[in-house]
Amino acid sequence: MKVSYFPGCTLKNKAKDLDEYARKSAEVLGITLEEIQDWQCCGGVFTTAKNEIATKLSSVRALKDAAAKEQPLVSVCSACHNVIKQTNHAMQTDSDFATKVNNYMAEESLYTGETQVYHYLEMLRDLVGFDALKEKVVNALSGKKIAAYYGCLLLRPNGVMQMDDPENPQIMENFIRAIGATPVLYAMRNECCGGYISMESPDLAANKSNAVVKNAVAAGADMIITACPLCKYNLIKNGAEIPVVYFTEVLAEALGVKEDTNE
């Protein structure tokens, strides 16, 4: 199966290994990630101003590219996914916004939100299936107690993202079980780490990220996994006492392709 793929800026620059983990793992699972040609930065945040059109165009171009190929669009970064999913929803539900976008782009073919948008985790759950993933595991992470960190952007706004229950999500815990590890539940797994205020208020960001890590450790975790590069950076930067790892890295390890990513 082929899907259109939006890797995002971080995974094409500072975190190229995480992108490689995602690609090689997908191939093992029977899915080819076809990177969209000439994609541009999603903007990093979805602005809610009704008259803000230009910052949404890169997402719409990516969505249109996937639609032209009749493929779903998959992203692996929670920030990229949030922006693209919210933009797609706006194109589906806000006719005034959709008209302005299409007029701004000045192209003959109109886009109205027909592309199916998945986060990589949703692809694992909905297109591959966690049972099928479990069957492909060759290096089960048995004995590992892993805390899933969702952060802000993966689940909210729930009416648009519709990935999981925003208060009691299970998708990452089910992923952890599929790769053979034990999920650790803790109270702050879907609270903000302070990543977006790390430049403006570094002390507050540090307090928030440290609270997340301490809560996970107190619950018995020996590792935290996340689906957001900014969360990963912020938790590590502020002195996480246990490893903070991107979910594609543990996936590649479980599937036995991690050692091949530097080829």
Q: What is the DSSP string of 205-249?
A: HHHHHHHHHHHHHHTT-SEEEES-HHHHHHHHHTT-SS-EEEHHH
What does CATH list as the number for 2-120?
1.20.1050.140
Q: Is the pLDDT of residue 181 over 50?
A: yes
Domain boundaries, the chain: 2-120, 139-260
Q: Give per-residue pLDDT as tens, 197-209.
A: 877 888 998 999 9
CA separation for the pair 251, 258 (Å, rounded):
8
Looking at the whole model, is its pTM more than 0.85?
yes
User: Under CATH, which architecture does the 139-260 domain have?
Assistant: 3-Layer(aba) Sandwich (3.40)
Q: Is the pLDDT of residue 112 over 90?
A: yes
- Confidence at residue 263, expressed as pLDDT on a 0 to 100 scale: 40
Q: Give per-residue pLDDT as tens, 76-106.
A: 999 999 999 999 999 999 999 999 999 988 7
Q: Give per-residue pLDDT as tens, 59-80.
A: 999 999 999 999 999 999 999 9
- Confidence at residue 195, expressed as pLDDT on a 0 to 100 scale: 82
